[in-house]
Every structure is written in structure tokens, then in C-alpha cells.
Amino acid sequence: MDINFPLILLILVIISGIVWFLDRLFLSKKRGEDEPTPGWVEYSGSFFPVLLIVFILRSFLYEPFQIPSGSMIPTLEVGDFILVNKYSYGLRLPVTRTKVVSIGQPERGDVMVFFPPNDDRYFIKRVLGLPGDEIKIIDNIVYVNGEEAEQTKPMSVEKDPRFVVASENLSGVNHSIQKSIISGRLGRNFSIKVPNGHYFMVGDNRDNSSDSRVWGPVPEQNIVGKAVAVWMHWESLPSLPSFDRIGKIQ
């Protein structure tokens, strides 16, 4: 089971905040001038401002994530640390994810973090279909409402000759994709009409991605935010962090 970090952070903020306020209002007045502040009160007072700032930043502004799988290769690699804009699509309450302020809507081609239907894990994919769109994928060529998303001539991948990389134009958003020379099951012949209030999400690694072709379109209330930048790459020890891939996510 994944740890619900937003809930844990909220609980810590509430507990440390209560201790901090009680100490300022009541406990400090009862202590004598020479009486030391209890350690647990002092620690709560020290941590509360820090926890509150972190809580506000990651809940309403930006949140860091690490890429755990290769479903977005070549755009994102395993070990990339990314920054997700939490207010691009509106402000949401932490934990419950209820939208309280509407700012914008996902656009076709956006790279988005979300929760898949009936799953409490974070996923990251590209927005392929908006509400009401008719999506077809035939031999790994995408058709949106009957229009083909143009691809450049594929080039073979040096590390694995079974795959090729191409540039795809998705409603004016140019980005790289990776696909098998022979289309996999999900890329051969797939079609769907995206329901209202939902988004069709697909990985850039088209033949190695569990996405909306498997578990269906994503409800609007499951949106977390827009992935905007890579700020570090670090797979695991003993390797050191790398900053060669820093930049805006296309």
C-alpha cells in the first residue's frame, strides 16, 4: 500500500499547530520565567512553520515527483525528478482533491499527473483525448476526431533495435514517442469516444505503457497537476545525481 503523504503532512501540521498555539496562549503563561520549555513543545514550535510552508507549497503550488517506470520514454526516463504545477488546472483541497477554484483545463499534448480510475497511485501520461473526442490508434498512428497526428520518419533506437523513436505533432504540440517496429496489441487497432468530464491518457512509450487503453479515461476529479520540468535525474545509489536532463517537459 502506498503511503498517503498528503494526509500524513496535514496531520503533522494540525498537531504541531495546536501545540504551538496552546503554548503561545496558555502554557507559556503558566511556566515560570526560569522554567524551561518542555522538549516536545519546543520541537513542535520549531517544526510548525516549516511544515506549514511545505504543506502550502506542495498542496497548492508545486510538488516534486520521481519517475518510477519507463512508460514515458523518451520524454521522461526512470529516475527523472520532475516538478508538477498544482494550480494549472485549478486549486484543489489537499487529501480530498475537491476543486475550489477553476483556473484552466488540460489541453491535448499536456503531460499530466493523475490517479487512474479505481487506483490510489500517482500516474503520469500525456493527454491524448479531451472530453468528447473520438480517438483512434491504428498501427501506432493517432487519429483525433478523424485527423492524423503527423509523425516524422522513425529512427531506430541504438540500445534496442526492436524500437524506433519519432516526433509526433499532437494539435501543435511536438514531442518524441517510442514505439515497436511491429505495433503491439494496444497500438494496432484501438478506438474510443472520450466521455464528458474525462481525459484519455497515453504514455509516450506507446507499446510499453499501461494507460487509458487498459483502464479507461481519467475522471476530471482525479487530476493532480501538469508536469512542467525535469530538475534532476537520480536512479539509485551508488550513482550520483545528474543535472544533464534539466529542462522544460515537451
Domain of 224, CATH number, reads: 2.10.109.10
The confidence band for 93, taking pLDDT boundaries of 50, 70 and 90, is confident
Active site residues: 71, 125
Domain boundary among 60, 77, 95: 60
Provide the number of structural domains found in the chain. 2
233 CB neighbour count, 10 Å cutoff: 21
Which pLDDT value is given to residue 1? 39
Residues 6+ apart with CB under 8 A from 98: 92, 221
Nearest-angstrom CA–CA distance, 96 and 92: 8
Higher pLDDT, 204 or 99: 204
Domain boundary among 60, 91, 106: 60
Q: 228 and 169 in one domain?
A: yes
Q: Of all residues in the chain, what percent are helix, strand and coil, respectively (each to 5)? A: 25, 35, 40
Domain boundary among 14, 35, 60: 60
Q: 230 and 121 in one domain?
A: yes
Q: 135 and 44 in one domain?
A: no
**How many residues make up the chain in this entry?**
250
Give the three cell numbers for residue 162: 526492436
- pTM confidence score: 0.86
What does the pLDDT look like over 141-191, one tens digit per residue? 999 999 999 999 888 887 788 899 999 999 999 999 999 998 988 899 999
* Mean pLDDT in residue range 61-70: 93
Residue 38 in this model has a pLDDT that exceeds 90: no
Q: 75 and 37 in one domain?
A: no
